[in-house]
């Protein structure tokens, strides 16, 4: 595999971390063990993203639909999340990482929210990579929430309907202030977006790998980035227009 070009890294990498359950089931283990191993992959990917100079990393950690999983699995995921933030806060501070959360935080248990709040507060002044966890997140819900906030502004006379454009709309999304992802990776062989960043993925390059999340290695992550770097992004323009500009 050729070397990665530092100048062609995705500015924003988003990941659907899938396949923890299947990884465990294939080994006759409890699904929760798969999530535990998945949390170790999260650490590796965060470390790599910092080393590679990726400025924004967004991880789909818990979807709004995941609440309907068995209660024990939901509890285990919340516990893992608390443990992860507690353990990684020191690293975030040391590596200048700014922690961020998107999704419906009101759904999360209060002790999870307290830990998140603490990490958000303590890393707020950091200027390095922005690590965003999508928690209790659903793209359609996010868009509906934005529409509702905009409607309230219009009703209050603070915004005119004709002022609403793509930029204004995006500023009411949870991801306000983040650039759109350049690359989305989904592990485990599923080829779906699964309600993740529906608005923001409009021009994102998609990369799917059969590898289950706990099995993702530094090499397989680099392979995805290498594949991305070999692509031509046209944003609706022609190939000739893109070559002319570069």
Cβ 220 vs Cβ 190: under 8 Å: no
**Contact flag: residue 38 with ligand FPP (CB under 6 A):** yes
Q: Is the dihedral of CA 214, 216, 218, 222 positive or negative?
A: negative
**Contact flag: residue 134 with ligand FPP (CB under 6 A):** no
Tell me the HSE value of 19 on the side-chain side, using a 13 A CA sphere: 23
Q: Is the dihedral of CA 192, 196, 201, 207 positive or negative?
A: negative
Interface pick for ligand FPP out of 61, 101, 130, 150 (rule CB under 6 A): 61
Nearest-CA neighbor of 15 among 73, 61, 47?
Answer: 61
Closest to ligand FPP by CB, 38 vs 103, is 38
Find the catalytic residue in 66, 104, 113, 126. Answer: 66
Active site residue 100: no
Q: How far is the CB of 212 from ligand FPP (least distance, A)?
A: 7
Q: Convert residues 203-222 into a mask of x (bound to ligand FPP by CB under 6 A) and - (unbound).
A: ----------x---------
**Contact flag: residue 66 with ligand FPP (CB under 6 A):** yes
Residue with nearest beta carbon to ligand FPP:
21
Q: How far is the CB of 35 from ligand FPP (least distance, A)?
A: 5
Q: How far is the CB of 209 from ligand FPP (least distance, A)?
A: 14
Q: How far is the CB of 104 from ligand FPP (least distance, A)?
A: 16
Helix 71-94 vs helix 31-52: crossing angle, to nearest 10: 20
CB atoms within 10 A of CB 147: 13
Report the C-alpha gap between 65 and 166 in whole angstroms.
27
Active site residue 174: no
**Contact flag: residue 183 with ligand FPP (CB under 6 A):** no
Interface pick for ligand FPP out of 84, 196, 207, 228 (rule CB under 6 A): 84
- Burial label for 214, CB within 10 Å (0-12, 13-18, 19+), is buried
Nearest-CA neighbor of 175 among 51, 12, 17, 53?
Answer: 12
**Contact flag: residue 82 with ligand FPP (CB under 6 A):** no
Interface pick for ligand FPP out of 18, 142, 174, 182 (rule CB under 6 A): 18
Report the C-alpha gap between 202 and 131 in whole angstroms.
21
Applying CB under 6 A, the site for ligand FPP has a residue count of: 19
The catalytic residues are: 18, 66
Q: Which residues bind ligand FPP (CB under 6 A)?
A: 17-22, 35, 38-39, 42, 61-62, 66, 80-81, 84, 133, 188, 213
């Amino acid at each position: 595999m050729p070397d990665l070009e530092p100048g062609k890294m995705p500015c924003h990498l988003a990941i659907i971390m899938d396949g923890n359950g299947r990884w465990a089931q294939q080994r006759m283990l409890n699904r929760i063990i798969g999530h535990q191993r998945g949390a170790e992959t999260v650490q590796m990917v965060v470390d790599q993203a910092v080393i590679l100079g990726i400025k924004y990393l967004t991880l789909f950690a818990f979807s709004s639909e995941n609440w309907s999983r068995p209660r024990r699995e939901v509890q285990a995921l919340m516990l893992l999340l608390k443990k992860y933030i507690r353990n990684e806060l020191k690293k975030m501070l040391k590596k200048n990482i700014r922690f961020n959360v998107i999704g419906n935080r009101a759904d999360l248990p209060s002790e999870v929210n307290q830990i998140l709040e603490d990490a958000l507060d303590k890393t707020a002044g950091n200027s390095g990579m922005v690590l965003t966890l999508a928690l209790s997140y659903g793209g359609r819900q996010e868009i509906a929430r934005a529409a509702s906030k905009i409607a309230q502004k219009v009703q209050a006379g603070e915004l005119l309907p004709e002022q609403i454009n793509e930029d204004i709309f995006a500023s009411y999304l949870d991801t306000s202030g983040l650039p759109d992802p350049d690359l989305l990776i989904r592990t485990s062989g599923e080829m779906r977006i699964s309600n993740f960043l529906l608005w923001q993925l409009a021009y994102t390059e998609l990369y799917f790998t059969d590898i289950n999340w706990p099995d993702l290695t530094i090499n397989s992550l680099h392979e995805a980035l290498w594949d991305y770097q070999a692509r031509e992004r046209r944003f609706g323009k022609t190939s000739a227009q893109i070559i002319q500009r570069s």
